[in-house]
Homo-oligomer: A and B are copies of this chain.
């Protein structure tokens, strides 16, 4: 949190502006562009939004393992309604991920735009990334699991973030700043792992030292 704030201050772009080329959007019901006859009833959308807003609060307060029935209750709907809209907990987390994926992508482009030296650029980008995916306790490890699992509802959004990371890596690679053979997907896994340990650790530990090792293992000597 603190590190996220610090990092953010360092290279904050005109926030929420830069367009993301990825899929994004894809809110309720419109996942498949074709074959979507009806746009969703008014009361349905109302409840959908209420559940999402409540989940955002509860997940922030108590993490992504909070009781789903409680979220339903606090949203003022029955459990059945919640489970119809979000068949699994992952689906709910996925819907919430929309909040960051755009920002993450924007942060990646902003990091590139800073033109800082490779080390600083990577450090800043990684800290931003981690700041986002650790917003809700428990989310980081779920992302780790979804990253390489195409069957996961979160897979798509993981790819958007993966692409953002690839842009940063490719940019530095083309500038000759990285060691040969650096794999963006691998870096993504590693940094997500760092996020995961920071998230699960009961102690409030600083991710910086771990990131420095990772960065040193990536940048050209």
Contact = CB atoms under 8 A, between A and B. Distances in A.
Interface of A: 141, 144-145, 147-149, 151-152, 179, 182-183, 186-187, 189-190, 192-194, 196-197, 200-203, 205, 209-210, 212-218, 221
B213 A190 contact: yes
B213 A186 contact: yes
Contacts of A218: 213, 216-217
A202 B142 CA distance: 11
A209 B189 CA distance: 10
A216 B217 CA distance: 4
B214 A213 contact: yes
A206 to B, nearest CB: 10
Mostly, the A contact residues are: helix
Given A145-B202, A152-B202, 7 more contacts: A144-B200, A148-B202, A186-B209, A196-B197, A213-B218, A214-B217, A216-B217
A141 B205 CA distance: 15
Contacts of A145: 200-202
A76 B42 CA distance: 55
Given A186-B213, A187-B213, A214-B213, A205 B148 contact: yes
Given A210-B189, A213-B186, A214-B213, A203 B141 contact: no
A210 B196 contact: no
Nearest to A212: B217
